[in-house]
């Protein structure tokens, strides 16, 4: 996953900037990692990313730069890294705060080890206890792997128990070989992006640029949990989100499953004989042996859309002029309680 963007937001006023930039409360203790969004002033989602609170390095390194004040490590999908950089720098320039954004994308590699045996494999490679108690989900640590210092993060974009290893460029091959050697007797294999697409849609996870766009709000996308609305902390786009919450939400996400038929996005969604939206992204879910489609739907009558509206009604997905019966889900049809990321299989 080395194509990911890897930025540091550091400086005396980095927390002030982070509070404004990120929808979630990221100003936690060093060692924490938070999934969050960034919004525009209209409440639209400009990005989803992970933000990790870090301590300064002594001496400085690509894994831990030296800085005064507070520091945050941002990990962002590589295809949208430049978009994120532009959004953050423009906000920081407007705010004129004492902090800076550093780009270490080229200095760090990244590999993601995911699945029920990831702990068994990595326990042979990393010099730290990987139990749920010692290394909970959504935390990170600097540890040693094959004699090299790496930042291990317990995260998942595929909804499985696993860790990301953020590794200095010169050490990537050595660490990768150690992981593959330890995993060989456990059946480890390299997985590509189609596997990530399939696994992520099976868990109901969002892809920015398809499922999430700058014209989608967190409330519409089912990501209200990323917004610190219960706190008094202002953030970019908060007023727009609060106004939408008060007025009502006029479209909601639909996670639909249908028989084995290839779908790719832009297929029409029918509900009770009327077109109510279209599919943003679709893929095959191997765990449930069905096609899974993700899109947004509206009420043809023009009113706000409720979860009851999503759950009721009869759905069909149209592909090339043929409609196929579909089942609507408001939660992922596979592992809806997200137990696997916490190590419970």
164 annotated as belonging to a binding site for a ligand? yes
Rg of the chain on CA atoms, in Å: 21
270 half-sphere exposure, CB direction, 13 A CA radius: 15
257 close to 263: Cβ distance less than 8 angstroms: no
Give CA–CA dist 50/48, Å, rounded.
7
Question: Number of helices and strands (H, E) in the chain?
Answer: 7, 15
Kindly list the strands in the beta sheet with 100-103, ordered across the sheet, starting from the edge strand earlier in the chain: 33-39, 45-54, 70-76, 5-11, 100-103
143 half-sphere exposure, CB direction, 13 A CA radius: 24
Q: What angle do CA 120, 123, 126 make, to 5 degrees?
A: 150
56 close to 71: Cβ distance less than 8 angstroms: yes
Q: List the binding residues for substrate.
A: 164
Which positions make up the binding site?
A: 164
């Amino acid at each position: 996953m080395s194509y990911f963007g890897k930025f540091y937001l550091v400086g005396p006023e980095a927390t002030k900037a982070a509070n404004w930039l990120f929808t979630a409360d990221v100003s936690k203790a060093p060692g924490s990692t938070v999934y969050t969004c960034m919004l525009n002033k209209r409440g639209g989602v400009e990005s989803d990313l992970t933000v990790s609170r870090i301590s300064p390095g002594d001496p400085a390194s690509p894994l831990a730069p030296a800085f005064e004040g507070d520091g945050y490590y941002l990990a962002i999908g590589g295809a949208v890294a430049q978009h994120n950089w532009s959004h953050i720098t423009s906000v920081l320039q407007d705010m004129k705060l004492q902090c800076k954004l550093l780009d270490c994308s080229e200095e760090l590699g990244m590999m993601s080890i995911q699945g029920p045996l990831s702990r068994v494999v990595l326990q042979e490679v990393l010099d730290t206890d990987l139990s749920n108690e010692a290394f909970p989900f959504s935390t990170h640590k600097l540890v040693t792997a094959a004699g090299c210092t790496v930042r291990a993060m317990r995260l998942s974009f595929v909804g499985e128990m696993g860790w990301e290893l953020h590794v200095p460029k010169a050490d990537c091959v050595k660490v990768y070989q150690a992981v593959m050697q330890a995993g060989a007797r456990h059946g480890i294999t390299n997985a590509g992006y189609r596997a990530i697409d399939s696994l992520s849609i099976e868990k109901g996870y969002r892809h920015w640029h398809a499922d999430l766009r700058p014209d989608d709000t967190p409330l519409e996308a089912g990501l209200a949990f990323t917004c610190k609305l219960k706190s008094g902390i202002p953030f970019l786009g908060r007023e727009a989100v609060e106004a939408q919450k008060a007025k009502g939400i006029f479209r909601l996400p639909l996670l639909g499953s249908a028989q084995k038929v290839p779908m790719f996005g832009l297929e029409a969604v029918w509900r009770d004989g009327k077109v109510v939206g279209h599919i943003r992204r679709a893929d095959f879910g191997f765990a449930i042996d069905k096609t899974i489609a993700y899109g947004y739907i509206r009420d043809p009558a023009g009113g706000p859309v409720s979860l009851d509206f999503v759950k009721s009604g009869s759905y069909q997905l149209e592909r090339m002029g043929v409609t196929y019966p579909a089942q609507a889900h408001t939660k992922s049809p596979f592992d809806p309680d997200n137990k696997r990321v916490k190590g419970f299989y």
